């Protein structure tokens, strides 16, 4: 394959920007730590880190296949390989199939319950790109899809779906609704013009209220999950610090946010996820 095709494939899976991979991976790592009481197996950490990269890469291909005609009409996305015609549909389908096959191979190292849960992840990936055409909160479906890694990670450790897992799953949904609403602010004008739905459009001038409510729900659910699993005080100190950071973001959202700032605020949530992971580790020491 010519080097230019490899570059296009790298662009297709957003290889230079792995924020999405980290936002998918981090809640799964939270679940691994909580479910194992702070002692996750290194093999499971490696499997879910690799799985996050493979599934996010496959997911953005599916998204770009579904949205290629819309992407051509949005300035920020018009240069994507499928929208611009630099890559063909057969090449994209092959790349997605290879990525999903590699992710499926990781399941061979996991228990039967996790294996049974895995088809739901594929279904959610396939459904998500189309939700922006039919529902006003496609960011909610993104959270449901990204959170499924929490369900699978918990099952991989405990071979059961315990109540604290659902709290972490709910927290992940709230988190994704918040950060992806911020992300959607970049395209609000273009989305209005072409008829695409998003939380940034739906909430309008009250975006800051919706983000604040989502982030508050996330912190409450994570605190309850930690209480159920006996996490120590350091974890709650981190959650309090994260809450302070969230309040700054919400305050900024009360005013007009230009696209470059919206993207920067979105990327800051990776560090939020890392901080919570560190707090969990500290809480189990």
State the residue for tokens 């953005």. 60
Instruction: For residues 278 and 232, give the distance between their C-alpha atoms in angstroms, rounded to a whole number.
Output: 12
Q: Report the SS3 class of residue 109.
A: helix
Q: Could you give phi then psi for residue 80, rounded to 5 degrees?
A: -60, 150
pLDDT score recorded for residue 152: 98
Domain interval for residue 39: 3-283
For the chain, the residue count is 285
Q: How many CA atoms lie within 13 A of 220 on its CB side?
A: 8
Q: How confident is the model over 4-24, as pLDDT tens digits?
A: 788 889 999 999 899 999 999
User: What is the number of structural domains in the chain?
Assistant: 1
Report the CATH number that the domain containing residue 53 is assigned in CATH: 1.10.357.140
CA 192 vs CA 67, 114, 138, 257: distances in Å: 15, 40, 15, 16
Look up residue 243 and give its DSSP letter.
H
Indicate whether 119 pLDDT > 70: yes
- pTM of model > 0.85: yes
């Amino acid at each position: 394959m010519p080097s230019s095709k490899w570059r296009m494939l790298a662009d297709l899976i957003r290889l230079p920007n792995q924020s999405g991979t980290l936002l998918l991976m981090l809640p799964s790592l939270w679940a691994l730590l909580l479910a194992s009481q702070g002692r996750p197996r290194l093999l499971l950490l490696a499997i879910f880190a690799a799985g996050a990269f493979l599934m996010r890469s496959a997911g953005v291909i599916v998204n770009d296949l579904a949205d290629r005609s819309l992407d051509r009409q949005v300035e920020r996305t018009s240069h994507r390989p499928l929208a611009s015609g630099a890559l063909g549909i057969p090449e994209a389908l092959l790349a997605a199939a290879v990525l999903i096959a590699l992710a499926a191979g990781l399941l061979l190292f996991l228990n039967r319950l996790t294996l049974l849960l895995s088809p739901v992840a594929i279904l959610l990936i396939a459904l998500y790109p189309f939700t922006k055409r039919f529902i006003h909160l496609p960011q909610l479906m993104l959270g449901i899809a990204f959170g499924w890694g929490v369900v699978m990670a918990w099952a991989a450790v405990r071979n059961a779906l315990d109540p604290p897992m659902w709290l972490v799953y709910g927290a992940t949904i709230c988190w994704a609704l918040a950060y992806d609403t911020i992300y959607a602010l970049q395209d609000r004008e273009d989305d209005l013009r072409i008829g695409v739905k998003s939380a940034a459009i739906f909430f309008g001038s009250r975006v800051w209220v919706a983000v604040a409510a989502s982030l508050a729900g996330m912190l409450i659910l994570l605190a309850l999950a930690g209480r159920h699993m006996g996490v120590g005080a350091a974890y709650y100190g981190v959650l309090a610090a994260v809450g302070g950071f969230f309040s700054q973001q919400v305050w900024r959202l009360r005013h007009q946010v230009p696209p470059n700032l919206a993207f920067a605020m979105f990327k800051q949530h990776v560090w939020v996820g890392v901080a919570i992971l560190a707090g969990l580790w500290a809480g189990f020491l």
